[in-house]
Amino acid sequence: MKSYISLWPAHAAQLPFPRSLAILGSTGSIGVSALDVVAQHPDLFRVAALAGGRNARRLAEQAAIFRPGVLAVLDETVARELKGLLPAGYTPEILIGPGAYETVAALPGVDLVLSAIVGAAGFLPTLAAAKAGKYIALANKESLVLGGRLIRNACRESGAIILPVDSEHNALFQALCGHNGDEDLARLILTASGGPFRGKDASFLAKVTPAQALNHPNWSMGAKISIDSATLMNKGLEVIEACHLYGLPVSRVDVLVHPQSIVHSLVEYVDGSQLAHLGVPDMRIPIAHSLCYPRRVALNMPRLNLASASDLTFEAPDETLFPCLGLAKAAFAASHSHPVALNAANEVAVELFLQGRIQFLDIPRLIEAALTRHAALPQDCGAAELINADSDTRRETLAAAN
C-alpha cells in the first residue's frame, strides 16, 4: 500500500510500556476519553504533558490526578487561573501560547503524542510531532486535510508513525492489517450515521437551529464536530484523511450511511469480500487501540450485543441535500491546497451558524464560494503558505457572510 504510515510495523511492538504520553487537547471529549483509558491502565502509561487550551478548571483537575511535568494553555489569563487551581506543592512547567502545543508535541522523552485539538489549530503541532519522529495517535483529521503532503514527508524523514484514532479510520486500520496492501485492496468504505437530519427535506433543513444540529443521535461529541456530522462535512474531511492515510485516490474511498453506528467502516478486497469493524459507538475503543497498539486492553464499558441490537441498515448518502460531502471530494481532486480553503470556510461557517448569524444551508453555500475563489498553491509550498491560505479564506468567508 502506498501509505506513509506503517500500518503493521514490526518496530511498533518495540515501543515499550509504560509509554510516555503527551495529550494535545486533553480537556476536549477525545482527551477526556483518553485519560479514562489511561486511568483504567495506569501501569501502561506515564502522562508527561497535557495541553488544555482555555479550560483551566478541567486541566487543573486532570493535572492533579496524573501529575504531568508540563502543562500548556493558550494565554496568560488562563495560565494564572490554572496556577491558582493546582494542588499545593505541585509545580509543573506551564507553557503559554499556540506555539506551546508545538513544544509539547516535540518534547524529548515523550514516546506517544495524542493529537486531539479541534480544527486547523492541530496542524502545526501534529507536524511538529511528525518532524520529531513521535508515534502519533491522530484524532485531528484537519492536520491531514491542511497539510497531508508535508506530514507525509516529515514522517518519511523522521520515522514517525501515525496511528488513526477516528473511529472510521481506526476500523479501516484494523481491517487492513495482515493484508498485502494495494495488491489486495479494492476500496475503502467509510460509514456515516447520517447525523440528526437524515431523511429530512430541504424545507426542514432551511429552518433547523443550532440546538437541533448539536443533538447527534449516537455520539457524544464537541460542538464543531457535531455540526460537521449534521452537514456530512465530517465525512467529507474523513474521505480526504483516508486518501492521505492509505495513499488512495478519492475514487476508491466511498461513504455509506449506517444510522446505528455499529459498523464503523469496511474494507473491500479484490475478491469481493468485505471486512467490517463492529463495536458500540464509544471513542474509548479506537483511542485504546491506538494508544496501546499492537496490544489490546480490556475496557470497563458496555459490550456490543448483536442479539439485542436493532437491525443494521445501510443506504447511500444524499449529496444533493448534504452537498458538503461532494464539496470535500471535489476539493481533494482539485489541488493539494483546495482542502485548506474547504476546511477554513467550513470552520468559519460552523461558528457563524452556532452564533445564529447564518442558516444551516448557508454553510455549504459559503464553502462552495470559498472553493471557487481559491487559486491552487504551488505543489512545493510550505506550512507558512498553507497557514496564509487558511487565514485569507477565513477573512474572505467572514466578509462574504456579512
pLDDT, position 195: 87
Q: What is the pLDDT of residue 7?
A: 41
Q: Report the distance separating Cα 153 and Cα 138, nearest Å.
A: 16
DSSP label at 280? -
Cell numbers given for 66: 496524573
Please report, for residues 66, 146, 368, 377, the alpha-carbon distance to residue 389 in angstroms, rounded to integers and kept in the order given.
Answer: 38, 10, 16, 9
**Is residue 1 scored above 70 in pLDDT?**
no
What does the pLDDT average to over 290-299? 94
Rounded Cα distance, 320 and 335, in Å: 23
Determine what percent of the chain is predicted with pLDDT higher than 70. Answer: 95
> Which DSSP string corresponds to 290-306?
HHHTT-----SSPPP-T
**69-108 residue pLDDT tens:** 999 999 999 999 999 999 999 999 999 998 999 999 999 9
Mean pLDDT of the chain: 93
Write out pLDDT tens, residues 10-42.
455 578 999 999 999 999 999 999 999 999 999
pLDDT at 378: 96
Please report, for the chain, how many H helices and E strands are present, in that order: 16, 11
pLDDT tens-digit readout, 236-283: 999 999 999 988 999 999 999 999 999 999 999 999 999 999 999 999
Q: What distance in Å separates the CA atoms of residue 306 and residue 308, rounded to the nearest whole number?
A: 5
Grid cell 462552495 in the structure block, residue: 368
**pLDDT value of position 288:** 98
pLDDT band at 212; cut points 50, 70, 90: very high
- Non-local (6+) Cβ contacts of 320 within 8 A are none
Q: What is the pLDDT of residue 220?
A: 61
Residues 217 and 193: beta-carbon distance below 8 Å: yes
208, 228, 209, 210: which is closest to 219 by C-alpha? 228
CA 188, CA 186: separation in Å to the nearest integer?
7
The pLDDT of residue 13 is 57
Comparing 307-321, 343-357, 386-400, the range with the smallest average pLDDT is: 307-321
More confident residue, 181 or 394: 394
177 falls in which pLDDT band (50, 70, 90)? Answer: confident
In this prediction the pTM is 0.93
Count of C-beta atoms within a 10 Å radius of residue 47: 25
Domains of the chain in sequence order: 10-166 (3.40.50.720), 171-401 (1.10.1740.10)
Instruction: Tell me what the mean pLDDT of segment 361-373 comes to.
Output: 98
Q: Based on the number of CB atoms within 10 Å of its own CB, is 251 exposed (0-12), middle (13-18) or buried (19 or more)?
A: exposed
Residue 6: predicted pLDDT: 43
pLDDT of residue 5: 46
Residue 3 pLDDT class (50, 70, 90 cuts): very low
pLDDT, position 179: 77
Pairwise CA distance, residues 91 & 82, whole Å: 11
Q: Contact, 152 vs 143, CB < 8 A? A: no
